[in-house]
Amino acid sequence: MHDTPLGRAIGFLREADKLKSVLRRSRLSFDPERRENDAEHSWHLALMAIVLFDRLAPPGLDRARVLGMIVVHDLVEIDAGDTFVYDHAHAASQVEREELAADRIFALLPEAEAADLRGLWDEFEARVTTEARFARALDRVQPILQNIFTEGASWRAHGVTAAQVHAVNGPLVRDGAPELWAHVEALIDDAVARGWLPLR
């Protein structure tokens, strides 16, 4: 039964459920003591894309493609784990770890579906299309917002500075959603003023 197309699809969905156990560094806005998991991040990011799409997306952007990339973008972390964007040592092996994970996880699906979802993941990673750049911009903003909502809980726990937040996130967000980055910069400045985020 598991070798039928439907059985393989259900097996993939069962495997994808493991994303709920992958913890991120971001804290929940309503419970800063608890870390967000990857599934929660992906859901929140998808909702963010829906809410902000008409305000921020470039004309002609394919909303369904953006949402597809967002839904699959962190599935590889089932195997590869979450890579904290400010941990440069761990990030050095990120591409290799995530490529191996993508090879295994998407291959659980029947060939056509595997190619479709792997294509969305590859597109998100390559950031060549406007859709991918927009999706990546939102992906970088979501944890910044979580830090704003929690008075910098994750930033403070890991000694992150405003200079790091700007350097690591600014280029990607400006590239995919420049109007959003202008708003986020004001939030970062406010976090510095409130003592939630040191300048350097």
pLDDT tier at 166, thresholds 50, 70, 90 = very high
Look at phi and psi of residue 162 and say left if phi exceeds 0, alpha if psi is from -120 to 50, else beta: alpha
Q: pLDDT (tens digit, 9 = 90+) per residue, 45-94? A: 999 999 999 999 999 999 999 999 999 999 999 999 999 999 988 888 99
Average pLDDT of the segment spanning 182-198: 97
Say which CATH number the domain at 40 has: 1.10.3210.10
Residue 97 lies in a domain: yes
pLDDT of residue 191: 98
Residue 81 lies in a domain: yes
pLDDT of residue 90: 87
Residue 183 lies in a domain: yes
Number of independent structural domains in the chain: 1
Residue 53 lies in a domain: yes
The answer to whether residue 3 scores a pLDDT higher than 90 is no
The answer to whether residue 1 scores a pLDDT higher than 60 is no
Residue 95 lies in a domain: yes
Confirm if 175 and 139 have CB atoms less than 8 A apart.
no
Residue 111 lies in a domain: yes
Residue 200 lies in a domain: no
**Domain span holding position 71:** 5-193
Residue 176 lies in a domain: yes
Q: Kindly write down the DSSP assignment for every residue of 93-123, as one continuous string.
A: THHHHHHHHHHHHHTTS-HHHHHHHHHHHHH
